[in-house]
Structure 1
Amino acid sequence: MKDKSVKDIKELVDNLSTDKYLEYIDILRNDERKSVQNIAVKLAKKLDNIRREDERLEKINIYENEGYSKGYVYIGGIDEAGRGPLAGPVVASVVVFKPNTKIEGVNDSKKLSEAKRDELFDIIKEEALDYGIGIVNHEEIDEFNILNATYMAMKKAVNCLDKTPDYLLIDAATIPGIDIDQKPLVKGDSKSISIAAASILAKVTRDSIMYQYDEMYPEYGFKSHKGYGTKEHYEAIEKHGITPIHRKSFLKNVL
């Protein structure tokens, strides 16, 4: 290794397979050059991050594996996006994976950047055995209230599946009126891979809808706040009034 330049070593390390990391960390640490020792430190940190992510991915399969151990075979995770905004729909998603699926980076959608969510959106759809997305619009939210509208979106998502799950893991909710065993999980989008994946599908789908509304109503700033009650949004309502996509039941004090 001592006959190689620092540039060559960097290139070598960039192309290493993970199973070679430990071997090369030891080799590079013993190099007399400080710059090469720094490469070893960076490689060690990278290995630590990989191990942490592997451990996290093991943990977020716990509730799915618990379901398989009880005899369930087709397990879906459900989450929603858009319960709190003043405008636009509520969107729910359900995702079914094969046992012990691991997708690097899958986590609660709120913990991910928009770019990462968009990247994972396509990966999740490719890796899933099945997935469904349910959308309930602002008019139905006003008619049935947001809680019932959320349940409606979840049921729509389940009805989109090719095969009905025999067990559902749901982020902090229990869906009434469906004949499927369910387990609500508080902060489930950080504890279950299928719920986390569902949160990403729901969030990306809803955001794309709000981007379309932003083009229709550019003065409201939907692209930035996605319909949530920000200062910018309230100021736009005060100046321009409400749009056809606003939830009137959420704006009784403004109307």
Structure 2
Amino acid sequence: MYRTENHIVQIESTIEKIDIKGQYIQLAEPIRLSGQLNIAELLTQYPINTTQDLQQSALQIGVDEAGRGPLLGSVNVAAAILPRAWSGLIEMQPLKGTPLSILTDSKQLSEKKRDMLYPLVQQHAIGYVIADIPAAVIDQVNILQATMLGMHVCTEMLLETLARHLSDMAKGTPYQLHAEVLFDGNRCPDLNYASLNQLGIAESAVDCQAWVKGDARHTSIAAASILAKVSRDKVMYALDAEHPEYGIAKHKGYPTRAHMEAIENYGVLSAHRRSFAPVRKALENQR
């Protein structure tokens, strides 16, 4: 799950079961997570200890998704921690003069700009996690719950990685973690606070906030939106290479006229979301 090189923790994880309100549910397909966390840089920029004002020193984690509307493929969720001076309201221009100066809501940027920002966010973020929630899981739990699940696992993976490595890096210095988790949208996922508490993170130390249109308002959420959107596009291009007749590179799985015609002509792929009405109807027509 973890590999540490020069104080940078590489995160690779596969989730096959999920704890939902005390019950472990076997997922239809595994959720895959990847990312990294620079523990040394985090300690430098967020020197949190028992003598400091936790609110002032809170690290901000932005969380966003991409791909709720398509009929095809995964929904991707990302969580990102930007450098402290770069994390804030976009209108206050905390990114002015930085390599991420053009960062905003991924939907407001061209694909070329998103592709340019993607490696820059990965390079300069203190930490990030990207989750790929496959179509089979979307069909299993519905798209809203799959999105919430993605936000849940990304957030907990970052917090868990922080908790497991902070004590070693802090070298005995008292260390308290206070995090503001900023979720794009109008609701927050349910976190497993009992599990986090076992790792030394109290529920009171995690402030979850729902930000409507947050990807256009806060730099950390915008960073997460870039990671989620571009990582999903990469999956779509891979599917396009396997099934060029569907034109996936152009419509990215959204229900365009060309996509619907491709489904009618060539059938439903295994990556299509069978719980979505147009796909369900196409399957019924094929019987």
The two structures share one fold, judged by TM-score above 0.5: yes
Question: Unpaired segments of 5 or more residues in structure 1?
Answer: 1-67
Match of 2:274 in 1: 248
Q: Within 2, Cα distance between the matches of 1:177 and 1:159?
A: 7
Q: Tell me the alpha carbon deviations over residues 7-63 of structure 1, each in whole angstroms, 9 at most, x when there is no partner.
A: xxxxxxxxxxxxxxxxxxxxxxxxxxxxxxxxxxxxxxxxxxxxxxxxxxxxxxxxx
Q: Within 1, Cα distance between the matches of 2:235 and 2:220?
A: 23
Judging by fraction of residues, say which structure has more helix. 1
Is contact 2:156-2:191 (8 Å) kept? no
Q: Tell me the alpha carbon deviations over residues 86-131 of structure 1, each in whole angstroms, 9 at most, x when there is no partner.
A: 0100000001012221221000001111111111111111111100
Residue 112 of structure 2 is aligned to residue 115 of structure 1: yes
1:167 Cα deviation after fit: 1.6
Q: Within 2, Cα distance between the matches of 1:209 and 1:72?
A: 37
1:69 Cα deviation after fit: 8.2
Q: Within 2, Cα distance between the matches of 1:159 and 1:196?
A: 19
Amino acid of the structure 2 residue aligned with 1:234: M
Residue 244 of structure 2 is aligned to residue 239 of structure 1: no
Residue 203 of structure 2 is aligned to residue 175 of structure 1: no
Q: How does 1:88-107 map to 2 (within 5 A)?
A: 88-101=73-86, 102=95, 103-107=100-104
Q: How does 1:1-255 map to 2 (within 5 A)?
A: 70-71=55-56, 73-101=58-86, 102=95, 103-161=100-158, 162-163=161-162, 166-172=179-185, 173-179=187-193, 180-250=206-276, 251-255=279-283
Length-normalised TM-score, structure 1: 0.70
- How many aligned positions are there? 188
Is contact 2:59-2:84 (8 Å) kept? no
1:72 Cα deviation after fit: 5.0
Amino acid of the structure 2 residue aligned with 1:74: L
Amino acid of the structure 1 residue aligned with 2:243: Y
Amino acid of the structure 2 residue aligned with 1:117: R
Q: Tell me the alpha carbon deviations over residues 161-193 of structure 1, each in whole angstroms, 9 at most, x when there is no partner.
A: 232672201111311234332111111000000
SS in 2 for 1:133: strand
Judging by fraction of residues, say which structure has more strand. 2
Is contact 1:134-1:155 (8 Å) kept? no
Identical columns (%): 40
Is contact 1:92-1:154 (8 Å) kept? yes
SS in 1 for 2:62: strand
Q: Within 1, Cα distance between the matches of 2:268 and 2:262?
A: 9
Determine which structure has more spread, i.e. the larger CA radius of gyration.
Answer: 1
SS in 2 for 1:252: helix
